[in-house]
Each structure stands twice: as structure tokens, then as C-alpha cells.
Amino acid sequence: MPERLAIKEPRQRRSRETWRQILDAGVALIETEGYEGFTIAALSEASGANPRAIYERAASKDALFLAVYEHKMAQLTERQDQLFGAATEPELTPDETVRRVVSAVLALFTGNAAFLRAVIAIAPRQPVIFERGRWHTAQLGELFADALADLVPPGYPSAARLAFRSVYAMAVLRTVQGSDFVTPALDFDAEVEHLTVLVERFLQANASAPSICPSTRSPH
């Protein structure tokens, strides 16, 4: 991690509590004002913390933004684990497993749309945020693929990961552009059903296909 992005972590309990309040206020600020409105002055006002207390922890605005980002993503990871835990209960039917896995991805984005929308907007200009976003996406993709492992055609080991790309793309599109950007507009439950059918038919269509591995195909 570049020194300019380093955070001086608090050691005392009171300092840790103050820092957590600052991070929580930072999440709320990003949700309402985006990166442009995310300033030390605005964060100080939102959190009630003295600007000096913030400067002591973060060497730059980007360091502070990264700290707030990771704070929020830790919360999302906890929620993610809960959702995928419910999606992998052993008594579920294959149809319900797919539905819960699809719902988990959409729920993560829908429940945190304001924050993720702001992050997606700034990520191309923030290489560290971009790379951290790629890492978190890869972890989500692994959970998705693992949950569907028993439904993947033997000759198509990458099928679940390809299905994840479609579900993830729709989740991002709904977050950035809104649920009515693509017509007909679907509410959350209808979108889950649509994507559940899409994933199920994709897996079924390839169940009897010859053994293939798309990752090794020539693009030509």
C-alpha cells in the first residue's frame, strides 16, 4: 500500500470508537455526496470529529476514502456470508438454490445501491479502489460458483462463473442506471425470477454439451 494511502490505526478503545464513528459518517457522506463531496470538512461536520483527529489518521483524502470503502465492504462481506449461507442449506431444491444465490447477489447491490453507485463511478479514476473492487467481485463470484457446484455440467466446469457474469452485470446495471433502464422494468422479485430462469436454462442447456472449457478457447 502506498504511504499516501496508509492509515494510522487507533489503539485505545475510545480512539477506536471515534474512528468508527468517522468511518460510519464517511459511508453516509459517500452515499449522499459521492466522491466529490467527500471532504475532510464535510466529514468533520458529519461525524462531529475535529478535523485534526481525522488528519492524524489519514494522510490524504484518497487514504480516507479507501479506509471508508474497506469499512463498508467489511460490512457487505458479513452480509454476503449470511446470504450465501442461506443459499447453501442442504435441504434446498436445485431451483431454490439458484433462486437464493441470484437473490443474494441482487440483494447485496440493492441494499447498498447508493454507496456502490458512488464507488463504481470513481473506481476508473482510483486504481487502488478499482483493484480492491475486482478482488471483492472475485470473492463474490467464488461464493456464487461454489453454491452452484453440484448443478454445474461435468463437461462445463466454468458454467457457474459464466452465469455469475450475467447476474453480476444486471446487478451493476440496476445499481448504476436504475431498474427501469432496461424495459420492461422489473421489480426486485421479478428480476430474481427472471435471472433464476436464465441461470437454470443456461446450466440445463449445457448439461449434455461436449466437454468444453471456454477459458482455453481461441477468441478467433
Asked whether residue 214 is assigned to any structural domain, the reply reads no
Asked whether residue 219 is assigned to any structural domain, the reply reads no
pLDDT for residue 215: 46
pLDDT for residue 1: 63
Asked whether residue 220 is assigned to any structural domain, the reply reads no
Asked whether residue 189 is assigned to any structural domain, the reply reads yes
Instruction: Give the domain extent around 61.
Output: 3-208
Alpha-carbon dihedral angle through residues 178, 184, 187, 192, given to the nearest 10 degrees: -100
pLDDT for residue 18: 86
pLDDT for residue 217: 43
CATH of the domain at 171: 1.10.357.10
User: Domain total for the chain?
Assistant: 1
Asked whether residue 13 is assigned to any structural domain, the reply reads yes
Asked whether residue 125 is assigned to any structural domain, the reply reads yes
Asked whether residue 215 is assigned to any structural domain, the reply reads no
Question: pLDDT tens track of the chain, all 220 residues?
Answer: 666 777 777 777 887 888 899 999 999 999 999 999 999 899 999 999 888 888 888 878 888 999 999 999 999 999 999 999 999 999 999 999 999 999 999 999 999 999 999 999 999 999 999 999 999 999 999 999 999 999 998 888 899 999 999 999 999 999 999 999 988 889 999 999 999 999 999 998 876 655 444 444 433 3
